[in-house]
Structure 1
């Protein structure tokens, strides 16, 4: 019989897949856990209690919301709460009010539209697309003054120009100078869905408008062309030697000749359809000056607007390379539209590198519809139902443009459509089947983007389907991901140090309906805000809750501001009291972590009042999740005969435990012998001689915990929390003895 003391010094891999439990040779096994439920792996290798949440309020009518982050500066961050037809604003955990009531903005989105919205922020403006209506522009004028309006894209974009010379549209004014124009088509084209749509027209030719030439006799009212633009003489009789080049108004081109030119058109006119009479007749309003030879005539060179009720509207958008990029209308699900550089509303088509353009990706539209966009550090990433693609410029010295765009396929996993995150500029998405979390990054070795399955070592989480993801960069690098069940899981991720760890964080019976991350008011940490569905006093409610600080990772956190409870109420610091009003937890069983001691379980009265055994002036009262625990993988015993699989072993003597900033917790041995039931040994306090009412100190150092087991083919150690007490473990050293043959 051989004794050994195999130390586990890192838990950074968190909970690993059951398929890895016997892979003692694999690094994720050596730094992994059988269970990490309510315990987070740390970048440094330790294992700490997950933070609790602070109760901030309720959503509008307790409806399921969509939470959207809005950040203008490091100390100017908001959460926008979208519920059907109403938007509200949260600022650092408080609802923005106006005239003594929560500020509300009427919006046109129902629940389904809110769920499919995509958005991108530029300064104080958020552009929103949902595929069912024109792109909207949400503007902030003040905390309690917002406006939502249709984004005005007056210059396009347009579909491919008609080239059928027999299919013409004629234009006629009802009166001279009238901005309204009557359109008559030679074949069916107009539908009611075109109302509000744009049509662009170009003349078939310029047989009556000459090119500008120098020193040519002209008369007032004559037209000439220069550089593709059309001008009208307003003064003078000779063109002189300086041609007109301006693009607006009237200018003197040649002082010696006294010639003045009025800019008329750049050769293209645009009409917004205001009424449709039938399939061949419509009325429109001129939004861009018409070439003079178009009105009163007809042309086959017309282009229908790309977006309308007839053709559909973009379903996703992003800002990349100083362009607003939109994609995936109903009629063109594989098309991207790029604005001009720096002009987010300018979609006038062009051929120069900084001008607007459209790009349609080849492939089967029904299977590979674009459902998301995300800018990366080397490319614009395009996510489709069955593909991941990226686009970049073929020249390092030019932005992507009409002649420089290259689009390639990165992988064929497909995306779920959940809004991706992009830490370090490398997008992380949820796969189409909802079972995997994938990162797309550039490989110098392959000179191409590669896709990595980040959830592979914890694939069992994906069996419950991942639904949304948000990134918290500080104090730890964590991705918060929700499951279809409503439980959040967390992914610790730092590729530079090859750290990747997973854990589940149940919220004491609450389920997450939406989450978002914004900088805290101090600007040095990120705050995770969640909409949590809870049943309280028999009533379904939707709470806004903020994740508390990760205590072990925030060394400046005050001891009595520690929160490992949920829907927490922060005790005011004015004076010591025994009675508190917490109506949001009326009828619930709660725990308290205070400067007077740790108490619980306690019942909150139906009227929301709670009385503590002793007066407290600082601390937190909230829900305690009894399911939280962490369990090691089976402790491996050394044997002179090699592998110990299937052989009996037992824990012997004491377990050495290194703790940091810990008040209390428990450890017990777990024995497994198939096919018998799991045996749980009595739990033992990790910090000796502590009583719950006296938990007023924290400890860092090494302790010996009297945990022993009987003989079993598998023995592991389970760690359990104590109420609201902090608990961080940095090393476990059990003494294990194998029983021999």
Structure 2
């Protein structure tokens, strides 16, 4: 029986061998047994992955961190072992002839998780990037000018702190109210690791200060408590022979001097006093040295001096607290922005800064609790699982822990998020790996705890809550070795790029609106160790950057590279780029050799001359010789692309044809902008497709082919009909559809 089925789409992506018999699956005809270095497009076609351009050798193993001030000002940061380099516009920021380099506090072991994923966390606000990494204090990277960058410790103000001490037998007092002071404790509470951390101290039982009340006798220099603050009387109404008493207006100011009333009745009663704000019943210090467990030197910080009720041995207080983060407690491991607040997290603790004041973690506004103040909470669950990532969404701050996912949001939607209107509620219970999930529309794509499943977390109206369906069930083999990195590139192809534990680059075409969920693999010569995405220099696309480890000339080197742009019919013939770690030379005259290829010393590279295929060449002393001279030369490592659709279920007559003997006699390919490919029953038996027309100039690049191309196919008889297409040269290839001429025996 002869049949001629058509394959109209390939955007089901590469499927697991376990899907081999699922002809009942609606997307079965769009699946592929193998899809390497082809990108499945939302429209249904697959297009050959563009090659990568070489930027510079990395200093060492590193992570790639996007720094995006705007669409047209974007940098890629190379964060390695105690150093930071800055790349932009496919080059590197220099300090003289050498790369500009900042010293960082994180080492490579500190910034690498046990499963191989990156532990560096970062969020950006215009020219400033805030960093968190387990084992080191938070950092602040500032771009002060084109070549003026600084990295310094991020010091917070007024917190955050651990819970207040509740053991009344353990007290602390200060030697003075301002400047450099000594803290003396009644028990061992100080450790060397507290140096550099904040310390909170508060008067006990009101500190012996009377509360302000109207009509009470008062004198200059008297202290009173009012509205959570402390005031000193600096002047009183003075009527001869009359008692001096307070007025009727309660002091609430936070700076300067204000009268609480004055003699307006005309009688002989003094009823007004002037009050100077001197602070609150509590204060903050930064520990600068630890002499012993009971003695530490500190510097008073904050907007006011320490209250008198904590100064001196007679004012020892049990109301004190250590900083929530220090060398003793550990430093924040996660960082994010949420509701215009800077958020830290470590373990099950989450701290949100004062609204719109990112380095201020005050729990009260001059003694008064308001909605703008800092928020501190513990994630409550049956298991004490550590926070793995923070991901802001429209519904709230999604928090991934090793045991499940939570949503930090308002308890009451009618009130603003704040210390009295915050909750962290469980939403799913899958557990997460420590990889920050990209937000795609309203969906957060996160890697589950074992590292082998990608889940899409989003609010579902039907479920009236969050759901996180598995996106890898059709292709579980793609992520079987584990995923250690993700990066989202929305333009032009809606791709989630990923890095596996074994160093292979993978991609997931994701468009929920069009119901396209397609995996593909993108093997390269070498091992991909890190990826990141920034806008391309032209601002018209998102650009994937990679750090790739390769064995070159007998040693392991690491290349910083970027994925070159996807081309279309408007591109010049010599602009297409399908080699990796490549360099392109443009000259005003014909050249017969190319230099500058030291990063590929000893490697056999593929070459294109003015867009035409050229024989391979070996890099010697950083150069290659050309057989055919030209003006635009591209050279780089091969990046062959392979597609093998699923076994077709056609021609069975009375039932399935899956186990019947079949043979393909002819294949008609519908192609767009294609310059080279081979087709056969498998990769060992391929026939070259020829697109050169008689009118094409010999030696020059032929025009790219768009249309239907028919090949006679000398396929063998066998169980199931399938074909393989390979694009392994320097030419582009886009496959839109295929018509297969199949003969079935049985």
- Taking structure 2 as the reference length, the TM-score comes to 0.92
Instruction: Indicate which of 618, 637, 640 corresponds to 1:623.
Output: 637
- Correspondences of 1:679-690 after superposition (within 5 Å): 680-685=684-689, 687=691
Instruction: Indicate which of 517, 526, 531 corresponds to 1:500.
Output: 517
Instruction: Indicate which of 145, 152, 163 corresponds to 2:148.
Output: 145
Segment drifting more, 249-258 vs 487-496: 249-258
TM superposition shift of 1:273: 2.0
Judging changes above 3 Å, is the alpha-carbon distance between structure 1 residues 146 and 456 closer, same or farther for their aligned structure 2 residues? same
Given the alignment of the two structures, is residue 86 of structure 1 paired with residue 93 of structure 2, yes or no? no
TM superposition shift of 1:59: 0.9
TM superposition shift of 1:178: 5.1
Given the alignment of the two structures, is residue 595 of structure 1 paired with residue 598 of structure 2, yes or no? no
Judging changes above 3 Å, is the alpha-carbon distance between structure 1 residues 243 and 559 closer, same or farther for their aligned structure 2 residues? same
Match of 1:4 in 2: 3
Match of 1:700 in 2: 706
1:667·1:686 contact (CA, 8 Å) conserved in 2?
A: no
1:3·1:637 contact (CA, 8 Å) conserved in 2?
A: no
Given the alignment of the two structures, is residue 655 of structure 1 paired with residue 667 of structure 2, yes or no? yes
Q: Report the 3-state secondary structure (helix = DSSP H, G, I; strand = E; otherwise coil) of the residue aligned with 1:575.
A: strand
Instruction: Indicate which of 169, 184, 188 corresponds to 1:166.
Output: 169
Segment drifting more, 554-563 vs 305-314: 554-563
1:666·1:686 contact (CA, 8 Å) conserved in 2?
A: no
- Matched residues, number: 715
Match of 1:36 in 2: 35
- Segments of 5+ residues of structure 1 without an aligned counterpart are 671-678
Whole-Å separation in 2 of the counterparts to 1:363 and 1:394: 17
1:199·1:273 contact (CA, 8 Å) conserved in 2?
A: yes
1:637·1:737 contact (CA, 8 Å) conserved in 2?
A: no
TM superposition shift of 1:216: 4.6
- Correspondences of 1:564-575 after superposition (within 5 Å): 564-575=578-589
Given the alignment of the two structures, is residue 727 of structure 1 paired with residue 745 of structure 2, yes or no? no
TM superposition shift of 1:120: 1.2
1:268·1:290 contact (CA, 8 Å) conserved in 2?
A: yes
Whole-Å separation in 1 of the counterparts to 2:121 and 2:171: 38
1:591·1:599 contact (CA, 8 Å) conserved in 2?
A: yes
Instruction: Indicate which of 520, 528, 551 corresponds to 2:536.
Output: 520
Whole-Å separation in 1 of the counterparts to 2:186 and 2:541: 64
Instruction: Indicate which of 74, 88, 111 corresponds to 2:71.
Output: 74
Match of 2:116 in 1: none
- Correspondences of 1:457-536 after superposition (within 5 Å): 457-507=474-524, 509-536=525-552
2:131·2:139 contact (CA, 8 Å) conserved in 1?
A: yes
Given the alignment of the two structures, is residue 737 of structure 1 paired with residue 740 of structure 2, yes or no? no
Judging changes above 3 Å, is the alpha-carbon distance between structure 1 residues 100 and 639 closer, same or farther for their aligned structure 2 residues? closer
Instruction: Indicate which of 114, 123, 127 corresponds to 2:126.
Output: 123
TM superposition shift of 1:635: 2.6
Q: Report the 3-state secondary structure (helix = DSSP H, G, I; strand = E; otherwise coil) of the residue aligned with 1:625.
A: coil
Q: Report the 3-state secondary structure (helix = DSSP H, G, I; strand = E; otherwise coil) of the residue aligned with 1:618.
A: strand
1:684·1:706 contact (CA, 8 Å) conserved in 2?
A: no
- Correspondences of 1:279-294 after superposition (within 5 Å): 279-288=293-302, 289-294=305-310
1:375·1:425 contact (CA, 8 Å) conserved in 2?
A: no
TM superposition shift of 1:444: 0.5
2:576·2:611 contact (CA, 8 Å) conserved in 1?
A: no
- Correspondences of 1:245-644 after superposition (within 5 Å): 245-251=252-258, 259-288=273-302, 289-296=305-312, 297-328=315-346, 333-350=347-364, 351-363=369-381, 368-507=385-524, 509-551=525-567, 554-581=568-595, 582-595=597-610, 597-605=612-620, 607-626=621-640, 628-644=641-657
Judging changes above 3 Å, is the alpha-carbon distance between structure 1 residues 222 and 668 closer, same or farther for their aligned structure 2 residues? same
Q: Report the 3-state secondary structure (helix = DSSP H, G, I; strand = E; otherwise coil) of the residue aligned with 1:275.
A: strand
- Segments of 5+ residues of structure 2 without an aligned counterpart are 113-118, 238-243, 264-270
What's the CA shift string for 1:180-238, capped at 9, x where partnerless? Answer: 33322223322222222222122222374333234554332111222111111223345
TM superposition shift of 1:145: 1.5
Q: Report the 3-state secondary structure (helix = DSSP H, G, I; strand = E; otherwise coil) of the residue aligned with 1:716.
A: coil
TM superposition shift of 1:247: 1.3
2:652·2:660 contact (CA, 8 Å) conserved in 1?
A: no
Match of 1:675 in 2: none
Whole-Å separation in 1 of the counterparts to 2:611 and 2:139: 53
1:595·1:696 contact (CA, 8 Å) conserved in 2?
A: no
1:377·1:426 contact (CA, 8 Å) conserved in 2?
A: no
Q: Report the 3-state secondary structure (helix = DSSP H, G, I; strand = E; otherwise coil) of the residue aligned with 2:586.
A: coil
Whole-Å separation in 2 of the counterparts to 1:585 and 1:184: 64
Whole-Å separation in 2 of the counterparts to 1:139 and 1:74: 18
Given the alignment of the two structures, is residue 182 of structure 1 paired with residue 182 of structure 2, yes or no? yes
2:495·2:509 contact (CA, 8 Å) conserved in 1?
A: yes
Match of 1:106 in 2: 103
TM superposition shift of 1:431: 1.7
